[in-house]
Amino acid sequence: MKIINVGNYQELSERAAKIVIETVQNKPNAVLGLATGSTPIGLYNELIDDHAKNGTSYRKICTFNLDEYVGLEGSHPQSYLYFMRQHLFNHIDISSENTFIPNGKAEDMMKECERYEELIKEKGGIDLQILGIGQNGHIGFNEPGTSFSSRTHIIQLTESTRKANSRFFSSMDEVPTHAVTVGIQTIMESRKILLLVSGQAKMEAFKRLLSDEIDESFPASVLKLHNDVTVITDIAFDN
Ligand code: F6R
């Protein structure tokens, strides 16, 4: 893993944007894996600014989001489809036909998972996967204990993750109990991975990531087995 330490969240967002923009410029039909959550919002803002100022085009870019809540319509303000439209897709020249997010309202969720995996393959696989990290080390919604060989699947959210995400809902009861997420194996098949780790709340997770541990009880630890992972962090931490 290549670790890039930056001074603050703005710098983290700019460094991350530089990597995404380079990917898009070098391969105008690249396949990007995208994350939601608070961490990549600054990156998406940078991409929007760059698109407006420098005209970087996403016309041929294809995107796959990591996850979606089960049971929320895409029109629900807390759905990840809504999030992506609001924070990125509506502000760049990407075609909605090229943006993929698991359908949390599919009648047959098992089939939806298979369909999503197939689609990623059909589009040639993920060139650059953007990841955040949960306080418990989850990547996507792959909670501790998820098999490293998992592919797109349905998971039950842990109470800690539901609690962390409840800030976006009006009450804890409204936070969905399940989500659909690409698997750890799916993430590991990405050609390049960019992990963004921001804020003191992620300090413990970051420390564990820097340790020697590679174990399913800490999902992000699998990234140490990938040969092209860049971690950008604004957490100051001496080993
Ligand atoms: C979101 C996702 C999650 C988040 C993680 C961190 O698509 O896959 O793994 O990246 O929960 O969330 P934030 O950035 O809100 O701390």
Per-residue pLDDT, 141: 93
Q: To test ligand 1's pocket by mutation, which of 36, 41, 84, 131 has the most ligand atoms within 8 angstroms of CB?
A: 36
**Is 49 among the residues known to form the active site?**
no
54 CA to centre of ligand 1 in angstroms: 29
Show me where the domains of the chain are located.
2-189+214-233
37 CA to centre of ligand 1 in angstroms: 4
Which of 143, 153, 165, 234 is an active site residue?
143
**Sites in the chain below the pLDDT cut of 50:** none
From CA 168, how far away is CA 101, in angstroms rounded? 19
218 CA to centre of ligand 1 in angstroms: 15
Residue nearest to atom 3 of ligand 1 (CA): 140
128-164 pLDDT tens trace: 999 999 999 999 999 999 999 999 999 998 898 899 8
Per-residue pLDDT, 10: 98
Per-residue pLDDT, 165: 85
Per-residue pLDDT, 239: 54
CATH number of 2-189+214-233: 3.40.50.1360
Per-residue pLDDT, 38: 94
Per-residue pLDDT, 238: 65
